[in-house]
A and B are shown apart, each in its own frame.
Chain A
Amino acid sequence: MPTRIKYSTSKTPAVKRPGAKRSAEKRAKTKSAELAASGKISASLAVLLSQMQNRGNKLGGLPSFAAHALKSSAPGPAGPLGTAPQPERVHLLVRCDANAKAVDGVVELMGSGSVRTALVAIDQIPELVGRADIRRLSAPRQLRPLLDVARTLVRVPAFRAAAATGSSGRGVVVGVVDTGIDVSHPAFAGRVLALWDQEIPGPGPGPGFAKLGKVLRGAQMGVSDDTHGHGTHVAGIAVGGPDGLAQMGVAPEADLLVVKTNFQNSGILEGVRWIFAEAQRLGKPAVVNLSLGGHWDGHDGLDDLSVGLDEECGPGRLVVAAAGNEGGDLIHARHDITAANPALLPIDIASKSSGIAPQWLVLNGWYAGGGQCDVRVLSSTGAATPWQGLLSTASGASGAMEYTLGSDLITVATPENPAPSGARQIMLTIESTKASRPVQGGQWSLEVKRANGTPGALHVWLLAPPELPPTCAQFAPGVAAASELIGSPGAASMAVTVAAFTSRNEWVDVTGEVRRVGLQAGTVADFSSPGPLRTGVRKPDVTAPGAMLVSARSSAAQVEDSDLVSPTYMVMAGTSMACPFVTGVLALLLEKRPALTPAQAKQFLKTKSRVPGLPAGGFDPKWGFGLLTL
Chain B
Amino acid sequence: MKAHKFDAALAGALQRQQPTTSRFDVTVRVAAPLPAAQITELAALGVPADARRSIFVADLDRSGLAALSDVDGVVSISLAQMLRPLGPRWR
Interface range on chain B: under 10, 10 to 19, 20 to 34, or 35 or more?
35 or more
In the docked arrangement, what's the CA distance between A265 and B7, Å?
Answer: 15
> Is A79 located at the chain interface by the 8 A CB criterion?
no
CA distance A248 to B8 in the complex (A): 45
Contact present for B29 and A527 (CB under 8 Å) = no
- Interface centre among B29, B59, B85, by most A CB within 10 Å? B85
- The verdict on A427 contacting chain B, using a C-beta distance below 8 Å, is yes
> How many of chain A's residues have a CB under 8 angstroms from any CB in B?
73
Q: How close is B8's CB to chain A, nearest CB, in angstroms?
A: 4
Task: Decide yes or no: A527 and B89 within 8 Å by CB, A401-B15, A411-B16, A420-B75 being known contacts.
Answer: yes
Within 8 A of B (CB), among A217-233: 228, 230-231
What chain A residues lie within 8 Å of B78 (beta carbons)? 303-304
Contact B3 A397 (CB under 8 A): yes
Alpha-carbon separation in the docked complex, A179 to B84 (Å): 9
The docked-state distance in angstroms from the alpha carbon of A402 to that of B18 is 12
User: CB-CB < 8 A to B89: which residues of A?
Assistant: 325, 527, 573-574
Is A209 an interface residue, CB under 8 A from the partner?
yes
Asked if B76 is at the interface of the complex by the 8 Å CB criterion, the answer is yes
The 8 A CB mask of B27-62 against A (1 = contact, 0 = none) is: 101000000000000000000101011110111000
Q: In the complex, are the beta carbons of A304 and B8 less than 8 A apart?
A: no
Give the residue of A209, A294, A402, A415 whose beta carbon is less than 8 angstroms from that of B48: A209
Interface check A263, CB cutoff 8 A: yes
Knowing A293-B84, A294-B82, the reply to whether A393 touches B59 (Cβ < 8 A) is: no
Q: How many contacts between A and B, using CB within 8 angstroms?
A: 181
- Please give me the residue from chain A that is nearest to B66 by CB atom: A396
Cα–Cα, bound, A429→B79 (Å): 14
Does A266 make an interface contact (CB < 8 A)? yes
- Asked if A265 and B80 sit within 8 Å, CB to CB, the answer is yes
A572 within 8 A of partner (CB): yes
- Let me know if B29 and A466 touch, CB within 8 A: no
**Residues from chain A with Cβ under 8 Å of B14 in the complex:** 398, 400
Please tell me which one of the listed residues A427, A466, A548 contacts residue B12 in the complex, with CB atoms under 8 A apart: A427
CB-based contact A400/B90 at 8 Å? no
Set of chain A residues within 8 Å of B76, measured between Cβ atoms: 419-420
Known A263-B84, A576-B85: A413·B11 in contact at CB below 8 Å = yes
**Interface SS of chain B:** mixed
Q: Are B87 and A413 in contact (CB under 8 A)?
A: no
How long is the Cα–Cα vector from A618 to B74 in the complex, in angstroms? 41
Chain B minimum-CB-distance residue to A528: B89
Interchain CA distance A519-B90 in the complex, whole Å: 8
Query: Which of A305-313, A377-385, A602-610 is the contact stretch?
Result: A305-313
Residue with the greatest number of chain B CB neighbours at <10 A, chosen from A324, A413, A416, A547? A413
Residues of chain B within 8 A (CB-CB) of A420 are 29, 75-76
Task: Tell me the bound Cα distance from A414 to B15 in angstroms.
Answer: 12
- Residue A244 interfacial (CB < 8 Å): no
B84–A294 touching, CB < 8 Å: yes
Give every chain B residue within 8 A of A41 (Cβ-Cβ). Answer: none
Q: Please, how many angstroms separate the alpha-carbon atoms of A177 and B5 in the complex?
A: 29
Residue from the list A1, A293, A397, A401 in contact with B83, Cβ < 8 A = A293
A296 interfacial by beta-carbon distance below 8 Å: yes
**How distant is the Cα of A390 from the Cα of B87 in the complex, in angstroms?**
38
CA–CA, A179 and B88, complex, Å: 14
Which chain B positions have C-beta within 8 A of A305? 27, 55, 81
CB <8 Å contact, B11 and A574 = no
A325-B14 Cα distance, complex, nearest whole Å: 31
Q: Which of B5, B26, B53 is A311 in contact with, Cβ under 8 Å?
A: B53
Contacting B87 at CB < 8 Å: which of A267, A308, A489, A572?
A572
State whether B6 touches A1 (Cβ < 8 A): no
When each residue 287-309 of chain A gets 1 if its CB lies under 8 Å from chain B and 0 otherwise, what string results?
Answer: 00001111011000001110110
Question: What are 28 A-B residue pairs whose CB atoms fall within 8 Å in the complex?
Answer: A2-B91, A179-B85, A207-B48, A230-B85, A263-B85, A264-B80, A265-B27, A265-B83, A267-B25, A269-B55, A292-B86, A293-B84, A294-B84, A296-B9, A296-B83, A303-B78, A304-B29, A307-B54, A311-B53, A322-B86, A398-B15, A400-B12, A400-B15, A402-B15, A413-B9, A417-B4, A425-B9, A574-B90
Which B residues form the contact surface with A (CB < 8 A)? Answer: 1-9, 11-12, 14-16, 25-27, 29, 48, 50, 52-55, 57-59, 66, 75-76, 78, 80-91
Given contacts A294-B81, A488-B83, 8 further A-B contacts (CB under 8 A): A265-B83, A267-B80, A292-B83, A292-B85, A402-B16, A426-B8, A574-B86, A575-B86
10 pairs of A and B residues whose beta carbons are closest in the complex? A296-B81, A393-B3, A308-B55, A266-B57, A399-B11, A304-B27, A413-B12, A400-B15, A427-B8, A413-B8
Q: Which residues of A are in contact with B by a Cβ distance under 8 Å?
A: 1-2, 178-179, 207-210, 212, 228, 230-231, 263-270, 291-294, 296-297, 303-305, 307-308, 311, 322, 324-325, 393-394, 396-402, 409, 411-417, 419-420, 425-427, 429, 466, 488-489, 517-519, 527, 547-548, 572-576, 579
